[in-house]
Amino acid sequence: MKKLLSGVSAIMFLAALLACSKKSEPALPPFKPIEEPAKTYGFESTVAWADEFSTDGAPDAGKWNYDVGGSGWGNNELQYYTSTTNNAMIKDGILTITAKKESMGGREYSSSRMVSKNNSDMLYGRYEVKAKLPAGRGTWPAIWMLPNDYAYGAWPISGEIDIMEHVGYDPNNVHFSVHNQLYNAANSKTSTKNIPTAFSDYHVYRCDWTPTSIKGYYDDQLVFTYNNDGKGIAGWPYDKPYHLLLNLAVGGNWGGVQGVDDSIFPVSMQVDYVRFYKMTVK
């Protein structure tokens, strides 16, 4: 019996020692994830890609392609787009895109839709276009961007950025918009600014595009902000390379809401320069 008691005592003594040793261990601090410093985005001061339109004649074939045809382009537009100097020509440092009243390709109007050749470097950055807009009911000029490859799906799933759009029946009201799966067509995210001299003077239409936002500026004044909500491609498909488009449409679902005034033709959008600056990260 004494041996049994001494054994029990030993066990109790050992348990007490273990309990004391556990109590003496310091408590571990709560886990904290390492926080990365916030990134600051900016833009290079040196132009990475540009066209100053300094050589008379046809636009530089090394920088521009053309969308050609009279399919209506998904908007019931009325023009036939050509790839010739009949509708896109450079003279005295200015690119002139002209819409004309003439039969071509089964359409009653001709014009041009110029497309910058796919450039993999055009993923994020600052885009500037200095332009003078055409006046007249039925005109629909645009300076805009589309993805090089529709990696997420057909329009609008892979996105669109409209740096400048104007419809002639609503003079001087200029629009900056984005389109995507959540916001498209009549439901697009849009801001509008009235520019009283949009037809008579050149103005700078600009897009600052980073992984966190798309911002629009007209003559360096902020007019539009669209932020990346971090919830995926439905609202933010803007993480793939894009390219620029310059065009002058006639009529269409928006431009032709109040018809077309045939007395205005020929009518032109004039472009002084197109410039792209790469994004920087700090």
The two tokens of residue 58 are 């046809």
Cα–Cα distance measured from residue 151 to residue 274, given in angstroms and rounded to the nearest whole number: 26
The two tokens of residue 137 are 């009911």
Q: Is 160 a catalytic residue?
A: yes
Q: What is the DSSP letter of 194?
A: E
* E strand spans, the chain: 41-43, 49-51, 64-66, 79-82, 88-91, 94-104, 107-116, 125-132, 139-147, 160-165, 173-179, 189-194, 203-209, 213-218, 221-227, 242-250, 267-277, 279-281
- Per the document, the length of the chain is 282
Q: Is 128 a catalytic residue?
A: no
- Helix, strand, coil content of the chain in percent (nearest 5): 10, 45, 45
What amino acid positions are annotated as catalytic residues? 160, 165
